A and B are shown apart, each in its own frame.
Chain A
Amino acid sequence: MIGKTLSALALCLLLGSAQTDDVSWTSQRGFFVVSYQSELEPLQINRLHAWVLHIENAAGEAVVGAQVEASGGMPVHNHGLPTRPRVTAEIGNGDYRLDGIRFHMAGEWEITISISGDDKTDMVVVAVTL
């Protein structure tokens, strides 16, 4: 019984993590592939929260020790994010904690992530719809 429950729990966790890891974005010059996991799921407006970015190189290997910066906005409205998010920690295995994200209106957002790692520099635009 306990085994079944644990299996179900593990399955739930797998499915849960698959939600955002399912989607990934390749950087403009093709050096990196980025996915994210939001601590606020589903995303909502007006809530300050964090993401964990997962960065891999083109060969599918985790990128460690990278410099990662993020900015964003709504291209249609020609305005930026209401906050200035920042990578506050490198968790390991290509994961980076991005803190201080808030969306203050519904619509089409873009988060631009600049990555310098593996002796390469590139940027990726993550599309977010709320």
Chain B
Amino acid sequence: MKGFALLALLAMVIALSWYNWPATPAPWTDAKVEILKSLSIDSLEPLPGDPTNAVADDPRAAELGHALFFDARLSANGSISCSTCHQPERRFTDGLAKGQAIGTSKRNTPSIVGTAYSPWLYWDGRRDSQWSQALSPLEDSNEHGTTRSQVVGVLLDDPAYGETYREMFGDLPDPTNDEAINTAFANMGKAIAAYERLLQAGPSRFDAYVAAVVAGDDTKQAELYSDDEVVGLQLFIGAANCTQCHNGPLFANNEFHNTGVISFPGELPDKGRAIGVREVTANVFSCDGPYSDDSNRVCPELEYVRTGPELIAAFRTPSLRNLENTAPFMHKGQIATLFAVLEHYNEAPLAMIGHNEAKPLKLRDSDLRQLEAFLFTLSAPLATDELWLRAPSIDIANDRGQSEQR
């Protein structure tokens, strides 16, 4: 009897050890190396232009947009700027489940980094350009809580803004003319977008590791990645199915997926893209609207946009670069830690509404730890001059001159 108990105990210890024993890396096959290359930042294409925004790549617009981004005068109480929720030190997120400004925002604050590459903005894609997105929080009563005439009023009251504005867009608007206010409001969004286009992900340890794999440099690979990180990466592109949505060099397909994230207790499930697609096709500041600078109104994203029941509770895939310092996660900040997000995908619970596209992964805790270890190797300083990552100083032009000399 005693022998049996000992045997049972031994079996239990072996089973538990297996469950928690980290797997070891497998050699990289040619097919896997191709997947690694597709995820490397070296595969990121140059940022395409935005035909709807004539000043998208105008440095003067970026400078004006930088100032507007940090300007708390663009709010009902004079204390909220874009940077209140999109904090540069937190990769342009805020560390909260939902943004806190004039009131509480409906969703988690997403990062802005790399969003110039996305055809859709917001968790539900309810805007189709950075400039039209930038306008929306200004008029949201829970966010900046202001009106477009108040926003344009700031432009009219500030001589420095006015001068830059005139250089790019011509005469300042007549504040009694609604149409002129709308145009100036859209132009201010375009300036903010010119700034946001500069916020781009930089090369991470992951990218250096991929380069070492491609070069067949074993020593360098071992220097760059621990065994756990290698296995985490192998799970990421293999059994964990992450690259189904988190693909390409920004680890995001920018499409909409229902992954069964449960609402906060007491909150109704969020319909996500099902509502977002209606908003974006009706929005006056969209690609095909009167404020777009593309006179041909070539808007394939809107023209071929998908609707239908698959979009219920579907949310846009966020980039996985720079997750560090960006918790909590998911569209309403429902999940507090990255490990808990991995547990969520491992379980793939039934969706509250719509259909969860993800399937249970049946991975072990040790596998999830390795995945987590890998994901943190995607963090890196942005590929953006430090000057853009803080509020502009009065002598910003001079600062920039010095930076170029460095």
Identify the A interface with B (CB < 8 A): 45-46, 48, 77-86, 99-100, 102, 104-107
Contacts and interface: CB of A to CB of B under 8 A. Distances in A.
Interface of chain B, main secondary structure: loop
Contact of B244 (A80, A85, A100, A107): A107
Given A99-B300, A100-B300, A105 B253 contact: yes
Nearest to B246: A105
Nearest to A45: B247
Contacts, number: 54
A58 B84 CA distance: 65
Contact of B357 (A79, A81, A99, A100): A79
22 contacts: A45-B253, A46-B248, A48-B300, A48-B301, A48-B304, A78-B355, A79-B357, A80-B310, A81-B306, A82-B256, A82-B306, A84-B307, A85-B304, A100-B300, A100-B303, A100-B304, A104-B253, A105-B247, A105-B253, A106-B244, A106-B247, A107-B244
A46 B48 CA distance: 14
Interface residues of B, number: 21
A85 B305 CA distance: 9
Contacts of B301: 48
A45 B250 CA distance: 13
Contact of B306 (A45, A46, A78, A80): A80
A105 B300 contact: no
Given A84-B304, A99-B304, A100-B303, A45 B248 contact: yes
Contacts of A102: 304
A49 to B, nearest CB: 10
A45 B355 CA distance: 23
A84 B253 CA distance: 17
A106 B300 contact: no
A84 B306 contact: yes
A115 to B, nearest CB: 20
A39 to B, nearest CB: 13
B304 A80 contact: no
A86 B256 CA distance: 20
> Quick one: which of B254, B304, B305 has the most chain A CB within 10 A?
B304
